[in-house]
Amino acid sequence: MDIFKALHILSMFSVVTMEIGAEFLYAFAVSRRDVRALATVHRTLEQARLGPISIAVFISGVVFGLLTALTGGFDFLAGWLIAAYVLVAVIFVGASRLWPNILLPLGAKAVEAEAGQRPVDDVVRDMVASRAVRWFVAMATIFVLIILDMVLKPF
């Protein structure tokens, strides 16, 4: 059980670091209306192939969490675990909306603008209209809630 718990914690902290870190960099560049920074963030994260890695680590963390519950005698229907299941589903759905619908297209436009293939003013206008910062705040809040749920087990 302790090995599964350790692997669960390590996996989930890795995912939080990757996801919130990447989302923060995008949101920070967007909030500053910095097309060059956004293009750099987008290129760097695309080259790092962070998306597939974080998804694999996230799924591993969920599996290790379930194995911890199974081998540790936890009640799978305990209130705090049900809250965790719901929050994990919200994170998964939220991330599936944030990355492909908001961050990646905006980052790609910034790369095009930096290469002179798109007017910079158009990208800045898209940054102003973007929901990237609001989505980042929402996702960060959900990550905080799930961490608190796991640590405090309030239900």
Consecutive 10-residue runs of the chain (155 residues): their mean pLDDT? Answer: 92 90 93 96 88 89 93 91 92 82 93 96 95 90 92 90
Q: pTM of whole model > 0.85?
A: no
33: which residues sit within 8 A by CB, 6+ positions away? 124, 127, 128
For residue 41, the model assigns a pLDDT of 95
For residue 64, the model assigns a pLDDT of 96
Distance separating alpha carbons of residues 1 and 4, to the nearest angstrom: 5
| Helix axes of 104-114 and 35-48: crossing angle, nearest 10 degrees | 120
Residue 34: in which H helix or E strand, if any? Answer: none
Query: Are the C-beta atoms of residues 35 and 110 closer than 8 Å to each other?
Result: yes
Distance separating alpha carbons of residues 155 and 141, to the nearest angstrom: 19
For residue 92, the model assigns a pLDDT of 83
For residue 3, the model assigns a pLDDT of 95
Residue 33, classified by CB atoms within 10 Å of its CB into exposed (0-12), middle (13-18) or buried (19+), is: middle
